[in-house]
Chain A
Amino acid sequence: MILAVLFANSVGNVLIERFNGVPAEERLHWRTFLVKLGADNLKGVKNEELLVACHKSVYIVYTMLGDVSIFLVGKDEYDELALAETIYIITAAVKDVCGKPPTERVFLDKYGRICLCLDEIVWNGLLENTDKDRIKRLIRLKPPSEV
């Protein structure tokens, strides 16, 4: 299960957060933990360079894309490798929608589309789509090109 997908800006404000199977009372803890993790480690990291950590029995993979940091938290079958795969798709889709690694402004301008992309990639904690071209079509309700 992918427990959380979180986007934050460069100063740690949350832009998008989606939790799956995380009780409401634990969300604040996770939010704080992830933002701190980013603040401690993401300075000076290159675009899309993946960082990885374990916390108790869950895995965290996170990265920087333009002005936006992206965090994924998973457990069980979603270990660091599966999360890396997922975050790779997410960053590709975001870049595709924004045309480049986004500034915060661009990210917010394309907010609706990014939400749609996320909806296609992770659904209730399960990875659904992994191909950015297909996602690009799906968010416009176009069938995948191979059909």
Chain B
Amino acid sequence: MAQPLVKKDDDHDDELEYSPFMGIEKGAVLQEARVFNDAQVDPRRCSQVITKLLYLLNQGESFTKVEATEVFFSVTKLFQSKDTGLRRMVYLIIKELSPSSDEVIIVTSSLMKDMNSKIDMYRANAIRVLCRIIDGTLLTQIERYLKQAIVDKNPVVSSAALVSGLHLLRTNPEIVKRWSNEVQEGIQSRSALVQFHALALLHQIRQNDRLAVSKLVGSLTRGSVRSPLAQCLLIRYTSQVIRDMANHGQSGERPFYEFLESCLRHKAEMVILEAARAITELDGVTSRELTPAITVLQLFLSSPRPVLRFAAVRTLNKVAMTHPMAVTNCNIDMESLISDQNRSIATLAITTLLKTGNESSVERLMKQITNFMSDIADEFKIVVVEAIRSLCVKFPLKYRSLMTFLSNVLREEGGFEYKRAIVDSIVTIIRDIPDAKESGLLHLCEFIEDCEFTYLSTQILHFLGIEGPNTSDPSKYIRYIYNRVHLENATVRAAAVSTLAKFGFMVESLKPRITILLKRCIYDSDDEVRDRATLFLSVLGGDGTVDTDKETKDFLFGSLEVPLVNLETSLKNYEPSEEAFDVDSVSKEVKSQPLAEKKAQGKKPTGLGAPPAAPASGFDGYEKLLSSIPEFAAFGKLFKSSPPVELTEPETEYAVNVVKHIYDSHVVLQYNCTNTVPEQLLERVNVIVDASEAEEFNEVTSKALNSLPYDKPGQAFVVFKKPAGVPAVGKFSNTLTFVVKEVDPSTGEADADDDGVEDEYQLEDLEVVAGDYMVKVGVSNFRNAWENMDEEDERVDEYGLGQRDSLGEAVNAVTDLLGMQICEGTETIPTNARSHTCLLSGVYIGNVKVLVRAQFGMDSSKDIAMKLTVRAEDVSVADAIHEIVACG
């Protein structure tokens, strides 16, 4: 467990060696810091106080603004002292205190003096401190000195300036980029470290210039790089160049491979590993290229240095994912790593072996892993279990030893995630390998005998209910399941009751005995358990409530046909009465939003409304709904469903909206109707559509709604035929017709003798517009997509859009009219903008891709003009778009 994170001074009092910082207190140290102001500075004493300040800061202690300012001002006085040890401490504490920008000025003159000092070390340190605390303006003033420092003959000064450059590049890139000549000179330095820092900085400066990086790499791979660190950087930059070249279609022999390969013979281990890693990560690496890299990695597997073993096995682990065969030669070396003291190495070795091992080595491997599992953390164990699952799928014949392994680890101690990983693995194996089923189920049964996780117990019970009855001897599982009823919490007990019932139904010979067991459950202390037991007893007992085996089977094993949200809403609305809740009364429509929720939104606090807009994923829901209606099955693939269009005012008796479903040669109008009058039941609900203003449309069929009780949305459909592939438009007037019956609101039932009264209700008109034939489909890169379309087929025209309040209004009007996807955030228009370009994309009926560039401009009188450029895969569609805009 984690040790307490207390400060050192809270530590054991009885410690023999007492700490020099024992009892240290911020207030006291700040008091002591006053010695910095003494006329005669005592360097030793001051250094001690600075050390204490450092200790406090390193312990996470923070100073208030006032405290920090006070200390900082006092520290600056120490620049008067010539003592070098103290001066070094002063540099450090200033960096640690990181003074605010308004205080920096106090110290800059001293530091600038030091930066030009004859003493090299003053220069180096002053540069580092200045670069830590200054802003852009001051940087411009000292830029000249920094450039000089980069080429200073003292490597420490040079390195200080280069590393400062690396830090400053993040905040002031423009200034640092001006130093490339000096940095370039640094790369030629004889000092290894200067070369390392210069290379890092130069690459950062030029990283976006592919050609420059390529040149840099080209020249350095031929020359000599002094430090191994710089060589590693060079290898990384080389890999990047190789990748870029491959991306840009340069073919032939892989460039720089020879360089990488030569680095495999470098004297520094880190360079060899870096080169090996770079080779293994090459795109489309061949086995010939891979072999030398794998060979050196194999050697490192038996290195005495753990870091090298780790680096090698980590790289091999990655290679095993893409080229498992290439790694098999290293298997023996990796097997010895399973017992490596460093658990990270052992886990990597095992997971690599599990990927590369062959069928004959599985047993041996399992034996080794078993010894190893007891002393690694859960997170490592999960990795191993997952690797074993994939191994088992790969070698199904070896399921016995793998299953034994999993069942053994299942019995050991472990957290929820780990146990879940094991249970998931066993379930996968049972599903994939039929032979493994019986033993796997027994392992799971044994596990639930002593399982502390309710979630896992219920999952396993459910799984047993599905798989158990089909085994050769289902009776052997009953004991384990029934034990749950006695020993577990209510959730598990309820799951056990359901599982028992499944066995009872599926296995005729067990039915009498299961019935006895279920009878014992009807005295359970929990409502749900009792209810389930009672229900299943009546289902199994065949007492007439259930007609056929099929119904029982559907009930026990079938999936719930209604969306849970709808079921929940209906149950909430169900008032306890003599009449039982009827699950058939629950709407199966996925899209309708529950009324209660709509009320909660506060839009219509008193009234009831039609089902609101479909959710974003509505298309799938519509497709499912429509395909379930046999009359519509022959229409082909649904092209588009519009958002619902309201046909009634809010708060009217009957709320109706319509969704336009577009097929290639049909349009289906789906009228979503809601009856908001509790005293009425509507029957034979139909919509009469007058299509006289829609010449190209011919009504082919309609589907009435038999019954529309209060607050249970239903749908009526009217279907029109139109010319295939043609974006026909038109206006439809709608009338709702129905038979209304009075009901008693308390029972919700209509009088049986009431024949009802025919009535009709005028709805608003509906239009099918050109935008209905356009699907919003975005493109990831508009410019590319635009350029890939033939310029020849471009159609351009200009339109006057009249006076508008704002550009945004005009943009919305055009995009709504076209029904296209707005790309690259061009829907956002800066306030007060006088011009704007909007990029749109979509797919037109017939699956024709369309791109539109709409340029808007507004004059002083708020008159808006638009230039519309359209490119489409079919030029007639581009013309059609212009027609839409011209008519709109």
Contacts and interface: CB of A to CB of B under 8 A. Distances in A.
A32 B7 CA distance: 14
Contact of B88 (A39, A85, A139): A139
B471 interface: no
A133 to B, nearest CB: 13
Interface string A109-124: 1011001100100011
B19 A108 contact: yes
A124 B197 CA distance: 14
Given A77-B236, A128-B163, A141-B88, 10 more contacts: A12-B5, A28-B5, A32-B5, A52-B310, A80-B311, A81-B311, A108-B19, A116-B89, A119-B95, A143-B156
Interface string A1-41: 00000001101111111100000000110011001100111
Interface in B137-179: 153-156, 159-160, 163, 166-167
Indicate the member of A49, A85, A112, A142 with the most B CB atoms within 10 Å: A112
Interface string B280-315: 000000000000000000000000011110110010
A116 B90 CA distance: 11
Interface stretch (B342-350, B523-531, B556-564): B342-350
A134 B156 CA distance: 9
B345 A52 contact: yes
Contacts of A128: 159-160, 163, 193, 197
Contacts of B132: 124
B166 A126 contact: yes
A112 B121 contact: no
B439 to A, nearest CB: 35
Contacts of A82: 229, 232, 270
A147 B154 contact: yes
Nearest to A79: B311
Contacts of A126: 163, 166-167
Residue picked from B8, B153, B197, most chain A C-beta under 10 Å: B8
B3 A77 contact: no
A115 B88 CA distance: 11
Q: Interface on chain A toward B: helix, strand, loop, or mixed SS?
A: mixed
Nearest to B160: A128
Interface of A: 8-9, 11-18, 27-28, 31-32, 35-36, 39-41, 49-54, 61, 77, 79-82, 84-85, 103-105, 108-109, 111-112, 115-116, 119, 123-124, 126-131, 134, 138-144, 146-147
Interface stretch (B53-61, B430-438, B706-714, B808-816): B53-61
17 contacts: A14-B59, A17-B58, A40-B377, A51-B342, A61-B307, A77-B236, A108-B8, A112-B47, A112-B51, A112-B89, A115-B51, A127-B229, A128-B197, A138-B124, A139-B88, A141-B87, A141-B88
Closest 3 CB pairs of A and B: A12-B3, A112-B51, A105-B17
B233 interface: yes
Contact of B55 (A27, A31, A41, A111): A111
A14 B121 contact: no
A147 B120 contact: yes
A138 B8 contact: no
A146 B119 CA distance: 15
Contacts of A15: 8, 58
Contacts of B159: 128-129
| Residue of B58, B314, B345 contacting most chain A CB atoms (<10 Å) | B58
B177 to A, nearest CB: 19
Contacts of A124: 132, 167
A127 to B, nearest CB: 7
Contact of A53 (B54, B160, B197, B344): B344
Interface of B: 1-8, 11, 17-21, 47-48, 50-51, 54-55, 58-60, 84-85, 87-89, 92, 95, 119-122, 124-125, 128, 132, 153-156, 159-160, 163, 166-167, 193, 197, 227, 229, 232-233, 236, 269-270, 273-274, 305-308, 310-311, 314, 342-345, 377
A53 to B, nearest CB: 5
Contacts of B160: 128
A138 B21 CA distance: 26
Contacts of A35: 2-3, 5
B2 A32 contact: yes
B84 A140 contact: yes
A80 B121 CA distance: 32
Contact of B307 (A16, A84, A115, A123): A84
Contacts of A103: 17
A79 B273 CA distance: 11
B20 A111 contact: yes
Given A140-B88, A143-B156, A109 B20 contact: yes
B120 A143 contact: yes
B123 to A, nearest CB: 10
Contacts of B48: 112
A36 to B, nearest CB: 4
A24 to B, nearest CB: 10
Contacts of A84: 270, 305, 307
B555 to A, nearest CB: 47
Nearest to A54: B344
A111 B51 contact: yes
A12 B311 CA distance: 27
B193 A129 contact: yes
Contacts of A144: 154-156
A123 B3 contact: no
B278 to A, nearest CB: 12
B33 to A, nearest CB: 15
A75 to B, nearest CB: 14
Contacts of B233: 77
A147 B60 CA distance: 38
A49 to B, nearest CB: 7
A49 B19 CA distance: 26
Contacts of A12: 2-5
Nearest to B343: A41
A14 B229 CA distance: 30
Contacts of A50: 305-307
B382 to A, nearest CB: 14
B526 to A, nearest CB: 41
Given A116-B88, A141-B119, A81 B54 contact: no
Contacts of B47: 112
B517 to A, nearest CB: 47
B92 A141 contact: no
Contacts of B311: 79-81
B342 A52 contact: yes
A37 B306 CA distance: 16
Contact of B273 (A81, A127, A142): A81
